[in-house]
Structure 1
Amino acid sequence: MSASYRQDLPPAGGFEAVKYKRNLPLRGPGALVILGGVTAFCSFGFYRIGLGNIERRELKREKTWARIHLVPVLMAEGDRAAYHAAQRNAALEADVMKDVRGWTAGASVYNNPRYRTPDDRGL
Structure 2
Amino acid sequence: MSTIPQQELPRPGGFPEIRYKRYIPKVGPSGLVLFSGITLMCTFGLYRTGQGNLERRELEREKVWSRIHLIPLLQAEADRDTYRREVAAKQREAEIMKNHKGWKAGESVYNSDRYAPKPYVVLP
| Class of the TM-score when normalised by the shorter of the 2 chains | 0.7 to 0.9
**Aligned residue number for residue 101 of structure 1:** 101
C-alpha displacement of 1:23: 7.4
User: How many aligned positions are there?
Assistant: 101
Instruction: Describe the superposition over 1:14-72 as per-residue Cα deviations: whole angstroms up to 9, x where unpaired.
Output: xxxxxx9x875431000000000000000000000000000000001000001111111
Are 1:114 and 2:98 matched, yes or no?
no
Amino acid at match of 1:102: G
1:1-123 alignment to 2 at 5 Å? 24-110=24-110, 111-114=112-115, 116=117, 118=118, 121=119, 123=121
Q: Which runs of 5+ in 2 are unaligned?
A: 1-18
> Corresponding residue for 1:7?
none
Moved more, 32-41 or 103-112: 103-112
Q: Displacement, 1:107?
A: 1.6
Name the stretch that deviates more: 101-110 or 58-67: 101-110
Gaps of 5+ in 1: 1-19
TM-score with structure 1 setting the length: 0.72
- TM-score for the superposition, normalised by structure 2: 0.72
Structure 1 pair 87–48 and aligned structure 2 pair: CA distance change class (3 A) = same
**1: distance between equivalents of 2:71 and 2:65?**
10
Question: What displacement does 1:109 show?
Answer: 2.6
- CA distance 1:62–1:52, shift in 2 (3 Å): same
> Aligned partners of 1:50, 1:86: CA distance in 2, in Å?
52
RMSD: 2.2
CA–CA distance in structure 2, aligned partners of residues 95 and 24 of structure 1: 101
**What percent of counterpart residues are identical?**
47
Distance 1:35 1:58 in 2: 35
